[in-house]
A and B are shown apart, each in its own frame.
Chain A
């Protein structure tokens, strides 16, 4: 019924109904699409929005989570408790520096490895496959392996002994100073494959003539990478930065399974802390309050995602 060209529908917000030139989609009457989006809407409202609404209510209670147990309304006391809770702030701070460090190292390794794989290397396919395998494996599957490796009598200490650094050997996971670096190492180990694949794909799109021209002008390989390739992969880097931020907020499996958030909350994240408060301490009201805080941060991350994606689209 309409002749609006297809490109007008590309993810634009719908115009007000009265404006004929901003029709967001050309087919059907005003309601014809509703049944199509109904299942998705019901699922998301029922299992995400309803629980969030419930959280808001539960966060005002002093309650142990059993439906028959008395729940006492305590207003904003849980929020006051949260802002005064050092473990809450520690978890937040962990999320921040965990994100900054894992993102930087992953980006560096993924980018470097991608450029090496574009350099006519032998056995390149084997290398690519191996670095990508961790991305596919469940963190829960690998957690026991890493517990073993970084154990006092594990392979990492054995390796240190072999190369003459035996004095550094220690029970890595039992020490508050070294447990977090191990959790970061495992996270980097798991996700570099994805970073690599994205940079590898981005580099395949580059115009080889530009690189050739730079070389003819006498630029070194390092110079070409830094001044031409890296800036041209900016869109990929931006997407990875935001994905990493959201992923950082979702961190649970690795710290929970490898260190249980310890020792002494040394690897506590918001996710593991919510679980701890709920399952170990049975403070459902307080767990709900922490979940609301996590939600606020995650939605803020999402807004960042949309704005940065918009900026990337505009160039």
Chain B
């Protein structure tokens, strides 16, 4: 993965929001992103700030969540009822 992008791909305001979200993460947790590796809160923030591929992935996940929430993901899912 590239460490840094030359041009800003992330909307500045949204980047601030994502970083603010990450800042409340507990310090004793790490995110595992497949073969890319594991990242602490500080490393996640750094990746978003530097707009690396990892940072873009984190932003994409947050955007996806906001979009899904707006579309009612918690109310519209209709999976089979019985748990096995």
Task: Determine if chain A interacts with chain B.
Answer: no
Using a CB–CB cutoff of 8 Å, the interface residues on chain A facing chain B are none
Using a CB–CB cutoff of 8 Å, the interface residues on chain B facing chain A are none
